[in-house]
Amino acid sequence: MSDPEPVLKIALPLPLPRLFDYRAPQAADADDIGRRVRVPFGNRELVGVVAALGAAELGPGTELKRATWLDDRALLHGELLSSLRWLAGYTHAPLGEVLATALPAALRRGEPLPDTHVRAWRLTEAGETALPGLRQGSRPRRLAKWLHAQPRDEDALDADIEGWRSAARTLAQRGLVECIALPASQLAPQPQPGPEPNAEQAAAIAAITCSDGFAPLLLDGVTGSGKTEVYLHAIAHCLARGRQALVLVPEIGLTPQMLARFRARLGVPVHALHSGLNDGERARTWAAAWRGEARVIVGTRSAVFTPLPDAGLIVVDEEHDASYKQQDGIRYHARDFALVRGKALAVPVLLGSATPSLESLHNARQDRYTHLRLHRRAGDAKPPSVRVVDVRKRPLDAGLSPELHGAIHAALAAGGQVLVFKNRRGYAPVLLCHDCGWSAHCKRCSTPEQPMPMTVHAGGRRLQCHHCGARQAVPMACPDCASLALQPQGVGTERIEEELARAFGDVPVLRIDRGSTRRKDALEQLFEKFGTQPGILVGTQMLAKGHDLRNLTLVAVVGIDEGLFSADFRAGEKLAQLLIQVSGRAGRADKAGAVWLQTHHPEHPLLQTLINGGYHAFAETELAQREAAGFPPFAHLALLRAEAKQADAPMAFLHAAKKAFHALEDETPAQVQLHGPLPAPMPRRAGMYRAQLLLSAPNRRALHIALDAGLADVYALPEARKVRWSLDVDPVDL
């Protein structure tokens, strides 16, 4: 008897750790693995991906349903598919959910792989003849001359010639130019030269370009040291070898300014992937990369899933940035996954930062990464001077000391711009009744033990919860004692903006935080308008990077004291990175910069180490403490989280889960420790009670063996049906 026809084992986007059997439309073979299919599932249809072929596991009397192909060949194959399988294993998530996370939304819904030709313009033969006759200095003549050398895509024209569209229309009407569709790869590079690399940059570039195969490199260079220049040289080298480069940037780092710099310097189309694109645009870029047409892809976190058939280099800029970690669904870390892909693709992976994560520094110290240092700012730029302002017993106006007022005044008078940094948006963090002590709390996020204050917004008219988004009007009178003496307590960015506008009314005062700028292009437009004239920016950590401010001479940090006393073991690292990043914005080659740090705790060891020894001195101390305490990078963690409307359900589930892990003692390595379960640091959010169970182990392998063994039982727990639970491997927020 011959073997029965193999069935398709399909990964479906469902929270179940298994594959699903379907009959193939026609005889299938190994080449069909990675092909998308549409399948009936219950009373709906789902889009899935063929993960394997095999024998049907049929219950008696059931008949397999048939799948239909969505593509004529596999969409996910080779390295990308195997890396995603690895990711499913590492995050202990169903393969179908991982694949659905990796695919752009349009492809996940089953839409066909889109056409990816770019619109380009070229000079016709008639145009070549007519060119000398076009009026000198006119825009049509400039455009025609520009197209004389080679066709240009619309992106490049947007960047090079203002108002080119009307000129193109005029010329097209006379048959002198025409619009064509080209694969992006057919546009020849037209790179512009940059500054000559200095010795440290040259050494870094050489280390990257001579790497053959996988090589993890940490480019550790102060702000303004020319890391981006190093990326550009490495990418140009990669392009010259006919390979693709993938560049990951943090959410706020992908500015039009930055893209324009890449386009101009590399002279090829640069494909951007970010949350501002619609589904169609995202799918098109993905497809262009899949076909090998996109040569340089610059994108935020999820761009790490870009197919790279001709990979040559992966760059992760600001590798320490928290936006690389996905906080819901499949909780992957884009930097870490970039390293996995780089290894599978046998290409160098360049991690860059002025404030490397302790994980990466640790790897560099262990010689697992090549450590490339840029110690000084490039060109003639000097590092900013740093001054600590002790504000104990000083009078403060909306949180600003008289000394700081004076410094802002001086900086503006000298023609500079000022950045005032406060990591708390809104007008004031608390609304308090002066007569009875009542304060406004969020009903959906508070517990009797842990009330959550609502933030005062809109100059004192509105209350908003920063955790669940709930909003309400500020009450006229105290709900408890009817007093009218309700007072905003403390200081947020809105209040500082108000005070600065009062004190420095003759210059623009611009507030940048998540409240003031919902849309990214709105943010860019604000910066454009702000220009380079004297003015003041007030804002949260959104200002720590992003748009390049050439005329910024003073950075004033006025609200960091909260961060000095947090319970989270990563709080110190995050605060140090933020301080260095925001300070790094002060000063340029032609203008010295200053940083003023206003604090009630000038003697705090973190500030002292950071100011006297810099980031690396801080990192040394912090790593020693992590090692002593058994925290990452010296231990590996996984966090089982649960939430539910019923107050007791999360803890009940986690206790049961803990028992399940304990029951597997023979299969679980002894080094794995379970801590908790405990209520989450925010024990309630948006009406849901939250708790967590922490697993830790001195090595990754032990942790994953335990998870592999225990999770199957956790899925099956009756208590699991009463909660929403998730597993976070390498959590960044505990």
Applying CB under 6 A, the residues found at the interface with ligand ADP are: 195-198, 201, 221, 223-229, 378-379
Q: Please report which helix (H) or strand (E) contains residue 103, including its range.
A: none
- Could you say whether residue 478 binds Zn ion (CB under 5 A)? yes
- Name which of 382 and 685 has its Cβ closer to ligand ADP: 382
Out of Zn ion, ligand ADP, none, what residue 442 binds, judged by CB under 5 to 8 A for its kind, is Zn ion
> Please, what is the end-to-end C-alpha distance for the chain in angstroms?
57
- Name which of 227 and 658 has its Cβ closer to ligand ADP: 227
DSSP type of residue 68: E
Determine whether the annotation assigns residue 238 to a binding site: no
Sequence-distant (6+) residues with CB within 8 A of 625 are none
- Subset of residues 451 to 470 that bind Zn ion, contact rule: CB under 5 A: 465, 467-468, 470
Sequence-distant (6+) residues with CB within 8 A of 192 are 264, 265, 267
- Could you say whether residue 442 binds Zn ion (CB under 5 A)? yes
Residue in 693, 647, 641 with CA at minimum distance from that of residue 672: 693
Out of Zn ion, ligand ADP, none, what residue 225 binds, judged by CB under 5 to 8 A for its kind, is ligand ADP
Determine whether the annotation assigns residue 179 to a binding site: no
- Name which of 228 and 696 has its Cβ closer to ligand ADP: 228
Out of ligand ADP, Zn ion, none, what residue 329 binds, judged by CB under 5 to 8 A for its kind, is none
- Name which of 227 and 690 has its Cβ closer to ligand ADP: 227
DSSP type of residue 563: G
How many angstroms separate the CA atoms of 398 and 426, rounded? 13
The single residue among 45, 480, 648, 733 that binds Zn ion, judged by CB under 5 A, is 480
For the CB of residue 574, give the shortest distance to Zn ion in the complex, in Å: 23
Residue in 17, 60, 70, 61 with CA at minimum distance from that of residue 39: 70
How many angstroms separate the CA atoms of 158 and 164, rounded? 7
- Could you say whether residue 192 binds Zn ion (CB under 5 A)? no
How many angstroms separate the CA atoms of 50 and 19, rounded? 9
Out of Zn ion, ligand ADP, none, what residue 379 binds, judged by CB under 5 to 8 A for its kind, is ligand ADP
- Name which of 201 and 493 has its Cβ closer to ligand ADP: 201
Asked if 266 and 189 touch (Cβ cutoff 8 Å), the reply is: yes
- Name which of 91 and 225 has its Cβ closer to ligand ADP: 225
- Name which of 29 and 196 has its Cβ closer to ligand ADP: 196
> E strands along 561-662, which residues?
594-599, 636-644
Q: Measured between alpha carbons, how far is residue 43 from residues 25, 40, 580 in Å?
A: 20, 7, 55
Asked if 140 and 133 touch (Cβ cutoff 8 Å), the reply is: no
How many angstroms separate the CA atoms of 440 and 93, rounded? 40
For the CB of residue 299, give the shortest distance to ligand ADP in the complex, in Å: 18
For the CB of residue 466, give the shortest distance to Zn ion in the complex, in Å: 8
- Name which of 152 and 545 has its Cβ closer to ligand ADP: 545
For the CB of residue 478, give the shortest distance to Zn ion in the complex, in Å: 3
**Strand, helix or coil at 317?**
coil
Residue in 522, 536, 525 with CA at minimum distance from that of residue 493: 536
For the CB of residue 194, give the shortest distance to ligand ADP in the complex, in Å: 7
The single residue among 445, 536, 555, 680 that binds Zn ion, judged by CB under 5 A, is 445
Question: Looking up tokens 């009007």, which residue turns up?
Answer: 473
- Subset of residues 422 to 441 that bind Zn ion, contact rule: CB under 5 A: 433, 435-436, 438
- Could you say whether residue 69 binds Zn ion (CB under 5 A)? no
Number of other residues whose CB lies within 10 A of the CB of residue 26: 8
For the CB of residue 352, give the shortest distance to ligand ADP in the complex, in Å: 7
Alpha helices in 422-540 (DSSP H): 493-503, 520-530
Out of Zn ion, ligand ADP, none, what residue 9 binds, judged by CB under 5 to 8 A for its kind, is none
Determine whether the annotation assigns residue 478 to a binding site: yes
Out of ligand ADP, Zn ion, none, what residue 436 binds, judged by CB under 5 to 8 A for its kind, is Zn ion
The single residue among 371, 405, 441, 444 that binds Zn ion, judged by CB under 5 A, is 444
For the CB of residue 361, give the shortest distance to ligand ADP in the complex, in Å: 17
For the CB of residue 454, give the shortest distance to Zn ion in the complex, in Å: 7
For the CB of residue 681, give the shortest distance to Zn ion in the complex, in Å: 14
Asked if 217 and 211 touch (Cβ cutoff 8 Å), the reply is: yes
Q: Measured between alpha carbons, how far is residue 516 from residues 44, 141, 501, 532 in Å?
A: 42, 43, 16, 20
For the CB of residue 373, give the shortest distance to ligand ADP in the complex, in Å: 12
- Name which of 108 and 227 has its Cβ closer to ligand ADP: 227
Out of ligand ADP, Zn ion, none, what residue 399 binds, judged by CB under 5 to 8 A for its kind, is none
* Two tokens, residue 174: 């006379």
Asked if 244 and 292 touch (Cβ cutoff 8 Å), the reply is: yes
* Two tokens, residue 385: 């001077």
Q: Please report which helix (H) or strand (E) contains residue 657, including its range.
A: helix 649-663
- Name which of 444 and 700 has its Cβ closer to Zn ion: 444
Out of ligand ADP, Zn ion, none, what residue 468 binds, judged by CB under 5 to 8 A for its kind, is Zn ion
Number of other residues whose CB lies within 10 A of the CB of residue 345: 25
How many angstroms separate the CA atoms of 732 and 726, rounded? 14
Strand order in the sheet with 44-54: 20-22, 7-11, 44-54, 36-41, 68-69
The letter for the amino acid at 694 is L
The single residue among 180, 202, 346, 481 that binds Zn ion, judged by CB under 5 A, is 481
- Name which of 200 and 730 has its Cβ closer to ligand ADP: 200
For the CB of residue 225, give the shortest distance to ligand ADP in the complex, in Å: 4
Interface residues with Zn ion (CB under 5 A)? 433, 435-436, 438, 442, 444-445, 465, 467-468, 470, 478, 480-481, 483
Q: Which residue ranges are tagged as binding site for Zn(2+)?
A: 433, 436, 442, 445, 465, 468, 478, 481
Q: Which residue ranges are tagged as binding site?
A: 433, 436, 442, 445, 465, 468, 478, 481
